Every structure is written in structure tokens, then in C-alpha cells.
Amino acid sequence: MKKVFYGVISAIALSCNVQAAAIDFSEAWYQVAQKNDALQAKKEQVKYSEALQDAAKSLYLPNVDITGSYTHFDKPVVAELPAIGLPIIGAVQLPGVPLTNQNFAHSSLNAVLPVYTGGRITAAQDIRQAQVDEAQSNYNLATRATFTQLVQYYFGVVLAEQVYQVRLDAVDALADHLNHAVKFEQQGQIAKVERLMAQVSLDKAQIEAQKALRDYEIAKLALTKMLKLQDSVLPTTPLFVNNSATSVTPYLSKTLTDHPGMAILNAKRDQAKGMVKMASAKHLPEVMLYGNYNLYSDDSVTGELLPEWMVGVGVRIPIVERSGTSQEVVAAKSSVRQVNLLQMQMQQDLSILVEKTYAEMSQALEEYNSLASSQALSEETVVLRQKAFSQGLSTSLEMADAQLYATSIRVQRLSASYNYVKSLAQLLSVSGDIDRFMDYLQINGIEVK
């Protein structure tokens, strides 16, 4: 009865797979790269930094503006003339000359062009470029982390599905064993305890199959959500191993050269150096060209006296500033030293990570290969125990233990192949070779089934 029940469960699971959308790993990675919200946010940060960089390119352009004013005086401004002495009449006070009306209006076009800023503009542009580099490196770092996560989710489903099938195979085998035990008990060939042992072993296998089914469904749900799909997905790329892996040296060398974390620190160092230049430039003079064109003045004397246009050269020489320029230089130089120290620490950490990940990958591969003989032995042992039990030369417990052991070896070997794939993805992610991931399956790769 329980065999029938688990047959129904298996049929349901398989029907779900039929309804699921088949997708290989390359297509899954394309979906994630296009739809992952975190990656899209990092892309927007790159665009934001590029926009600021473009804005910094205009710092060498002149500032041009129009100014205007309208002023109301309490009374017109009048130039008083001195009294003059005339023969016979004597001193005569002349009337004042009105310089402005009581209301005075004026507008002009003004332009200021920086000629020398002590390196402020160049430093600002360098900082903006470094910020773009940092944003791009953050995007690359997030891309690699997302790739590693997808590998874990995608091949986690593959592993869970295969483990579930292995558990179902164990249920079927132990159900057959129980049927034989029941018949042997009815014929008086074995004791009741032997049949009960067969029943207990089947119950244990059924419990493990239930757990495996739940793990499979949870893994599929997680992958489906990560791919932002409505229908359940069915991975078609198998687990694999590859015995032709090279030494750790190429991975280590490429990691220390191309890792986004190193590039981020390089960008931060460039920003810190730019801040040193910016702070140091505050001690230097500024030179600018300026010009003014009179657009409108009222018809007063003052308005008539204003020149139509004028140009000139201006200089600003800092003497004393309250911004603490000297300490800003000290702080900026400290930031540069801090980044240098962080970079040395990151080189050490990355070296450890690469060597550790490579060792884990090698260990998983070694475990998978070493378990081949154990799997062959366990499967042959099951066959022998079945024959021995049918001939009364082996107990029910020995038969069940042989079957469960064979199942555990198969699961262990599948897990080893999953650990290999996961470590390989981590290694390629750290070293920046995620595009080569599928090559390890397609070139000398061994599919795990």
C-alpha cells in the first residue's frame, strides 16, 4: 500500500516537472543578469557616476549669467555744484545735477572663465573618473556574487531532484523486499521479526523520500523566484565534474590582477589622491578672465556713464582660510595610506580564499572519484544480499542495511559533485572567469546522473 502511495507522490512530482519550464544554465544566467534588481541598481549607480563625470567636464567652460536690478531711492541722487561768484550779482548757487532717477533699473551679461585654478578642476575630474571606476567595479563584484548564488540555486535543484529519485529507488527496492519478507513469513521460512525489520527499513526510506521531496520543492521555488518566473522551472543542465582542472596558480594570478575588490580600492585611492590635490590647491592663487556687457540702463546720467562693455583679468590669492586646509591635506594623505594598507590586506585575503576554494574543489572531486568504487561495491552487495535472503542465507536487516548503505553512497556522491560545481563557480567568480563555467562541462566534463 505504501509503495502505491509513494508511486502516486512520484507521479505528482513528475507531472509537476512536465508542467515546469525547462531551462538550461546559460539561459538561467541570462535571465538573472537581465532581471536581478540588485544588479539593475548597481547599473543605475554606474549611470549616475557617469552623469557626474560628464558634468565635471564642463568645469573649464565659462560661467555666463544675466543680472538685473531695479532700485527705488528715497529721493533721486543729485550732484551738488559749488556756488560761483559773478560780478555785481555776487555768489550764485547753481542747481544740482541729477545722477539717477528715483527709480533706477539696470541689467548686464556677465562671463567668468577660469584660466588657472591650482589644479582644482583637474583634481575634480579625476575624482569623478575614479567614482565611475568604483561604481563599475561594484557592479562587476555584484555580478560575480549573483552568478555564484545562481549556481547554488540552480544546481541545488538538480541535486535535490536526483536525491529524491535515489530515495524513491530505495523505497521501491525496500518495498519489494518487504513483499518477499511477507511471503517468506507466510511460508514459515523467516520469523516475524525479520518481516518487521523489513517494514521498519521501508518506513525509514519513506520518511527520507518525503524529506527529499520537500527539499526538492523548496529548491525549485527558490530558483523560480530568483529567475522572476511565474511557472516552476526544470533545470536541464546536469551536475558534472572535470578531472582536467589546472593548478591553482592561474586562478590566483588572475584574481590578484582583476578582482573587482582590488579595482574598488584602486578607485578609492585615486579619489583620495584627488582630494589631496584639491586640498593642496586651496593654497594656490586663482586666475580668471571676466567680461561684462551692459544690456540695459535707464536714461539717467549714471546709466549713460556706464560703459557698454568691459573685459579684464582677475586674481584671487588665498591668505588665511578658516576651512583648515592644511589638516585637509593631512587627512587626504591619510586616506591614501589607509587604502594602500587595505589593498595589501585584501591581497592576502583573496589569496587565502582562492587557495581554500581550490582545495575544496579538489577535495570534492577526489571524494566523487573515490566513491565510485564504494558505489560499485554497495550495488553488488545489494544484489548478493537479495540472493542470500531469498535463499535464507542472510537476514532481513542485512538486506535492508545493504540497500540503505547503497543509497547513502549514491547521495554522498551526488553531494560531492554538487560541492565540486559550487566550488568551481566560486573559484571562477573570484578569478573573473565566469564565462568559462560551461566549458568545464562541455570540454572533458563528466555528467553526473
pLDDT tens sequence across 107-165: 999 999 999 988 889 999 999 999 999 999 999 999 999 999 999 999 999 999 999 99
Q: Is the Cα dihedral 297, 301, 304, 307 positive or negative?
A: negative
The cell numbers describing 311, all together, are 573685459
Query: Is the backbone of residue 96 left (phi > 0), alpha (psi -120 to 50) or beta?
Result: beta
Cα–Cα distance list, 163 to 150, 211, 212, 330, 415 (Å): 19, 10, 7, 61, 9
Mean predicted lDDT score pLDDT of the chain: 88
Residue 324 pLDDT: 60
- The cell numbers describing 104, all together, are 533706477
CA distances 218 to 288, 302, 418, Å, are 67, 85, 17
Q: How far is CA 161 from CA 149, 154, 217, in A?
A: 18, 11, 9
- Is this structure's pTM higher than 0.85? no
pLDDT in tens, 215-270: 999 999 999 999 999 888 999 999 999 998 778 999 999 999 989 999 999 999 99
Residue 97 identity: V
Q: Rounded to an integer, what distance in angstroms lies between the CA atom of residue 34 and that of residue 14?
A: 30
Specify whether the CB–CB gap between 178 and 203 falls below 8 A. no
Where does 227-324 have alpha helices with state H?
A: 248-258, 260-281, 301-305
At 1, the pLDDT band (50, 70, 90 cuts) reads very low
What's at 443, amino acid-wise?
I
443 secondary structure, DSSP code: T
The answer to whether the CB of 346 falls within 8 A of the CB of 262 is yes
Q: Mean pLDDT throughout 356-382?
A: 96
Angle at 210 between CA 221 and CA 25, to 5 degrees: 35
**Least confidently predicted of 41-50, 166-175, 324-333:** 324-333
What kind of fold does domain 2-35+117-283+318-448 have according to CATH? Outer membrane efflux proteins (OEP) (1.20.1600)
Count of beta carbons in the 10 Å neighbourhood of residue 410:
22
Residue 247: exposure state from Cβ atoms within 10 A (0-12, 13-18, ≥19): exposed
The stretches of 187-236 forming alpha helices (DSSP H) are 192-226
